Structure 1
């Protein structure tokens, strides 16, 4: 398998990987724009635009868009994140031209009909309501808002009922014109595809898109603030997130942070799962995560537990953080490397996963990253490097706490911070 890249005259990048012996393909357009690129008064418009793109063009109705791709057994979908938006399809190899035609149609010729807009607003309001009724969604939304207070990077992607209801078709077109430009677009195709044929189709269908926009302001650098959010609800369980500032994509410790998250709480063999769930039975769900953005990141532990277990659970989590800053054994890193390696290789057996993987690398680093280079980065992560990183993450970063549920027995912010601050002053041999 080999990855080929071509930049079109308007600045759009086309990347393909031919995967022998496959009869299907996955392809999509990934944009370097998301909810973070919304301006004042646009909260939620990136996500609304993603929905409206499928609601009809000048040549296809919403029903025709769905029927044409499903008539050939394919599927089409989209997603919006903080910094990216993606429109993608899975089809059999003979239907690649149809998929590209549909994607180009919805991205370049959508109508944004006012009747459809009001209908889709109602759908998104239901989506917001469903998220509000789901405690594990609420706890993450407020975690982001608290970690990046008063910044677009921390706002819920869905928007609010007030902002969604306020949008007009013209506002959607303004956001599209400013952000859906060729220099921000990457067309990726993997599977039974031919690079030259994909490039020609892209030139025909996407060549008219503007190269760039003079309206795009320079992105404001994110500032991690930390803080506390608590929402007491009468629930059967409590949702808890304890977090710290993570590392940006291009930071030296980005991959090390991912390995650390895996080691602490990335699977059934991780420290938190074994100690908290298996050994003590203090919760039914616990894991660690590391999210990287272009200029910052977050590292957090999420747990879902019953009210009666909160007093014991949080100190155990903090204790495991102290322990990992004191000692990490080589077999733990080897296990994390093996999990990363298997995930990398397994993704290359699926055209959809491989297309997404390539798109992510192109958006983050401007080029596909060879497996050998990724594994070399992992091999350079030592136990000393990880313990030093853990100490800096957990002891030097402002704390972010987000909690929803029965919280009367949850430690105070000062007690949690104090526990980690006390550990910072101890010699390594005294930790754990």
Structure 2
């Protein structure tokens, strides 16, 4: 079934994808507001607001929110990312009106009670501590901080102990009113749902939501690269090598996604075969490409024991350099097949489908079908990918490493290997 889209009089976008064979519905509200929309003093408030939305409204206590959805066998949750925040649920199709009501309630009538706020601040402080104590989480926080240092995009989503503890209920209300407007929100449902019925339910509960939010545009991101190494007494090392990637709307965005699959998207990928299987230099390695609205980042993450760090980066760099010289048609075809399979498999999950539609509406203003995506991938050639590789991997590198990393290849040697020279006008 195709996606149906309606827009309410206040500008709120409502979309559905009907899957008539399903008895359940996945639905949610996605907002174009995340951690990069915070000011420096608000670091962590988007994530805290997401938590506090479930801590009581004018009509429901925190316990009421949990029990009402679970009394009908449903589930409800939320997530904060760099550029969006999502509040979502999954219920049986007959309970859709209840789920819409609860989601609308937490968005329009949350109290942000000071006592609940104090308890939730303590919970998030524990999250921050746990993230710091988990090297494979901490290395990614350091990675974005280094690649986009002194910018909102580079700050961790969780915030810091100082900022999180300082927030007040009024600040949460102010952030919500400033960031959440109907023109920056989409409500999506996928599964056993009738479009017209869903639109009516959303209209009843969110039709009067403020049309526009008085929000400031996020700071334009500038990839800067850099080097961060943290010696810890651990049995393994967590290492990321990264480069400037491509934004969602950039011509080479999908090419970058495919390149990440060729280099490190599975057990047949170049990095897995060369670094892990043939040389045994690590126990885990993969490549990734993250796109944002105005920038992107390409990276390779590896986890290795304390004896493999010296040889690891030279071998990775060798493979990246080889990608700029030659990519086989068979590799491109395999990556396209992986991409297509991933898309089709995700369509079997109503939650994944609702999330995909919401993301496409927020990013592109319209849903994008699987065939259109495959047409874009079909236009890729090995020549284009080798050219992209040569350009990507000659950008400023970002290196972050945590653990026994004293023998890790120095950043100066990495730059020399990539034939990159920093302009004299830019300070290290």
Alignment TM class, shorter chain as reference: over 0.9
List gaps (5 residues or longer) in structure 2: 422-428
Q: Does 1:406 align with 2:404?
A: yes
Counterpart Cα distance in 1 of 2:215 and 2:352: 31
- CA deviations 1:156-192 (Å, max 9, x no partner) are 0000000000000000001000111111110000000
Answering whether residue 413 of structure 2 is matched by residue 415 of structure 1, we say yes
Check conservation: 1:287, 1:301, Cα contact below 8 A.
Answer: yes
Mapping 1:110-121, distance limit 5 Å:
110-121=110-121
Q: For residue 241 of structure 1, give the secondary structure of its aligned residue in structure 2.
A: strand
- Taking the aligned partners of 1:21 and 1:230, their CA distance within structure 2 comes to 52
Structure-2 residue corresponding to 1:429 = none
Q: After superposition, what is the alpha-carbon deviation per residue over 1:257-281, rounded to whole angstroms, capped at 9, x for unaligned?
A: 0000011001111100111111111
Give yes or no for contact 1:307–1:409 (8 Å, CA) kept in 2.
no
Whether the 8 Å contact between 1:47 and 1:157 is mirrored in structure 2 is yes
Q: Structure 1 CA distance, aligned partners of 2:405 and 2:122?
A: 33
Aligned length: 421
Aligned pairs for 1:150-189 (under 5 A) are 150-189=150-189
Alignment deviations for residues 394-432 of structure 1 (CA, whole Å, 9 cap, x no partner): 01x111010101111111100111111189xxxxxxxxx
**Matched residue, 1:353:** 352
Q: Tell me the CA shift for residue 347 of structure 1.
A: 1.3
Whole-angstrom CA distance in 1 between matches of 2:292 and 2:137: 20
Q: Structure 1: which 5+ residue stretches go unaligned?
A: 424-432
Q: Distance in 1 between matches of 2:405 and 2:353?
A: 42
Provide the C-alpha distance between the structure 1 equivalents of 2:282 and 2:136, rounded to a whole number of angstroms: 14
Query: How far apart, in 2, do the equivalents of 1:108 and 1:269 lie?
Result: 49
**Per-residue CA shift, 1:247-298, capped at 9, x if unaligned?**
0000000000000001100111110011111111111110000000000000
For residues 374-393 of structure 1, the aligned pairs below 5 Å read 374-393=373-392
SS of structure 2 residue aligned to 1:41: helix
Q: TM-score when scaled to structure 2?
A: 0.97
Output aligned runs, 1:187-226, within 5 Å: 187-213=187-213, 215-226=214-225
Q: State the secondary structure of the residue aligned to 2:40.
A: coil
**Paired position in structure 1 for 2:54:** 54
Q: Quick check: 2:16–2:195 contact (8 Å CA) kept in 1?
A: yes
Tell me the equivalent position of 2:89. Answer: 89
Distance, in Å, in 1 between the alignment partners of 2:217 and 2:144 is: 22
Shift of 1:373: 0.9
Indicate yes or no: 2:273 matched with 1:274: yes
TM-superposed deviation, 1:40? 2.9
User: Is 2:69 the counterpart of 1:64?
Assistant: no
Which runs of at least 4 in structure 1 moved beyond 6 Å after TM superposition?
Answer: none
For residue 289 of structure 2, what is the aligned residue in structure 1?
A: 290
Provide the secondary structure at the position in 1 that maps to 2:187: strand
Deviation at 1:220, TM superposition (A): 2.2
Residue in structure 2 matched with residue 430 of structure 1 by the alignment: none
1:344: how far off? 0.8
Matched, 1:248 2:247: yes
Aligned residue for 1:38?
38
The answer (yes or no) to whether the contact 2:152–2:219 under 8 Å persists in 1 is: no
Any idea what the Cα deviations from partners look like across 1:6-41, whole Å, max 9, x if unmatched?
011111100001002111110000001101111131
Range with bigger deviation, 120-129 or 361-370 = 361-370
CA separation in 2, counterparts of 1:111 and 1:312?
Answer: 55
Structure-1-length-normalised TM-score? 0.96
In structure 1, what is the Cα distance between the partners aligned to 2:300 and 2:229?
A: 16
Instruction: State whether residues 247 and 257 of structure 1, in contact with CA within 8 Å, keep that contact through their aligned partners in structure 2.
Output: yes
Q: Deviations over 1:126-148 (max 9, x none)?
A: 00000000001111101100100
Q: What are the residue-to-residue correspondences of 1:70-109 with 2, within 5 Å?
A: 70-109=70-109
In structure 1, the partner of 2:129 is 129
Tell me the CA shift for residue 351 of structure 1.
0.7
Is the Cα contact below 8 Å between 2:139 and 2:239 reproduced in 1?
A: yes
2:426 aligns to what? none
The residue number in structure 2 matching 1:427 is none
Contact in 2 for aligned 1:4/1:195 (Cα 8 Å)? yes
